[in-house]
Homo-oligomer: A and B are copies of this chain.
């Protein structure tokens, strides 16, 4: 993926981290913003029994929620300081059970745009042996919003 993006907003990292910190849902599931770069962020989600499904793995929908935030903030890194981002749609493939002690959600911008940005993310499970395994992928379409509906970014 292209990582040679030039951000408009030099303060993108602090802006993205502050916005992520306002996502109560991410705190609830235990997700943290680990890395923020131009067009790329990494969200980490430690395993915890409160986010599991009936088989004891992390719920696929929770994996998707963390991937969605990774995609949205990857897009946000390339936007203007006063722009917001809304997820229009996303698709996730769950390729293996979400087993492991930690999950790394790597979100990247595939195609930035004035109105629409297309993003992708991968979820990797880290096992006790320190090895990474690809467990899910996402493709998400983000819409840029500016000064609409009194939405705080």
Name A residues whose Cβ lies closer than 8 Å to a Cβ of B. 19-20, 22-29, 49-56, 58-62, 64-69, 84, 86-97, 110-111, 113, 115-116, 118, 120, 134, 137, 139, 141, 143, 149, 151-153
Contact = CB atoms under 8 A, between A and B. Distances in A.
User: Which among A25, A91, A141 has the highest number of chain B CB atoms within 10 Å?
Assistant: A25
Given A22-B54, A86-B94, A91-B92, 16 more contacts: A24-B49, A25-B51, A25-B58, A25-B59, A25-B62, A28-B29, A56-B152, A59-B68, A61-B64, A62-B65, A64-B65, A90-B91, A90-B92, A91-B139, A95-B110, A120-B137
Copies of this protein, total: 4
Classify the interface of chain A: helix, strand, loop or mixed. mixed
User: Which among A28, A56, A66 has the highest number of chain B CB atoms within 10 Å?
Assistant: A28
A90 B64 CA distance: 10
Contacts of A22: 53-54
Nearest to A59: B25
19 contacts: A25-B52, A26-B59, A28-B29, A28-B51, A54-B153, A56-B152, A59-B69, A61-B64, A61-B65, A61-B66, A62-B65, A65-B65, A86-B94, A89-B89, A89-B91, A89-B141, A97-B149, A118-B137, A141-B141
